[in-house]
Structure 1
Amino acid sequence: MPAPIDKIVTSGTFSLDGGPWDVDNNVWIVGDDAEVFVIDPAHDPAAIAARVGGRKVKAILLTHGHDDHIRYAGEFRELTGAPVYLNPADRMLWDAVFPDAAPDAEIADGDTFEVAGTELRALHTPGHSPGSTVFYAPQLATVFSGDTLFNGGPGATGRSYSDFGTIIESIKERLLTLPAETTVNTGHGDSTTIGAESPHLDEWIARGH
């Protein structure tokens, strides 16, 4: 049986090139009654740890290095003892928040993470940030898209280290090639599907330019 997915929404701020701005983040917990992965434990580590309960956190998987996604990863690591994984292309964003502490491990394109008999595959999708990475779980027909793809279009590319052309290429080549029925569990806001988003690629390109 594939691992269940749980979501907790936490509230805090995001800052890069100014701010802060108020944001609500989706925190994803994937696993069973014994062990889980936690994706992007934002803003409220105590509440996330309470939702995890007595289960073992095998790893903390970060989709990218923006501060709303990582600022409390260190505290959550202390609460759970779980290693933190981040694509090294976002290390400059991590270092801006944690100058004296490193992630525990790097994520590379194609890396796989297994929990409760379910595999998550890391797909590098730069654009929102250089190291942006999504986690595709074929058995769950789900991709955890971070801030690369939302319900309604691509993630923002108006701040440092972001690039619109790059995110469009990532979405086109890495995400819209997934099965249409794939659920897109996003870093903020409502979930969507690949099939719902793929017809709008040309609209996004026109809007972005």
Structure 2
Amino acid sequence: MSGIERVVTSGTFELDGGSWEVDNNIWIVGDESEVIVIDAAHDAKAIEDAVGNRHVVAVVCTHGHNDHITVAPQLSADLDAPVLLNPADDMLWRMTHGDKQFRTIEDGQVLKADGIELHAIATPGHSPGSTCLYAPALGAVFSGDTLFQGGPGATGRSFSDFPTILGSIKDKLGKLPADTVVYTGHGDTTRIGDELVNYDDWVARGS
């Protein structure tokens, strides 16, 4: 049976000289034999314990902020799985991991675990390479820090832009079915329709 599992880890988000304590959601998508891990935050052991003996197709990082890639190289080595990241976030990756390598994930790319397709959707704004993963068969989208319960992800730091994230949400995520469940990078889940009804308020807030 295919499903979605959540692991929550705790650590720090660091950018522009600041440091903030955060809890991150790591999503494991697949079945009892094969999975995809979404994000690589803080604690490799907790993620590896949740994966168990299952084959990991890939560790996909929704974007390059350090709290989403903290243990990506370790997971890659321990789980014998490639790390995928949109190359537009290369500069963020290098802030944390220097010249360690990742593989690229591009807009429209499709990954499969247990026959479940995850479609990569480029959603720049929170970061240049922010990428959501849409699973039509599960009625789910994994939004990283692009969309939360309550609105768009933060855009007040380097390499982010509020009009760009609004465009990504409206033009990309807004095309998904309204009842699509949004599995976020932090905090609780929501639904596309429950958030998009507030789009005009977000625009007004940023003007």
TM-score by length of 2: 0.98
The 4+ residue runs of structure 1 with deviation greater than 6 A are: none
Q: Distance in 1 between matches of 2:47 and 2:206?
A: 35
What does residue 111 of structure 1 align with? 109
Structure 2 stretches lacking a partner, 5+ long = none
Q: Distance in 1 between matches of 2:66 and 2:113?
A: 26
Matches within 5 A, 1:1-209: 3-103=2-102, 105-209=103-207
Shift of 1:70: 0.6
How many residues in Structure 1 have an aligned counterpart in Structure 2?
Answer: 207
TM-score by length of 1: 0.97
Partner of 2:119: helix, strand, or coil?
Answer: strand
Partner of 2:15: helix, strand, or coil?
Answer: coil
Q: Distance in 2 between matches of 1:20 and 1:74?
A: 22
Partner of 1:21: helix, strand, or coil?
Answer: strand
Shift of 1:47: 0.8
- Percent sequence identity over aligned pairs: 59
Aligned partner letter, 1:44: D
Q: Distance in 2 between matches of 1:11 and 1:205?
A: 32
Q: CA RMSD in A?
A: 0.8
Shift of 1:207: 1.1
Q: Distance in 1 between matches of 2:162 and 2:152?
A: 9
1:156-205 CA distance string (max 9 Å, x none): 00000000000000000001111011000000000000111011001111
1:106-147 CA distance string (max 9 Å, x none): 111000001101100000000000000000000000000000
Partner of 2:168: helix, strand, or coil?
Answer: helix
Structure 1 stretches lacking a partner, 5+ long = none
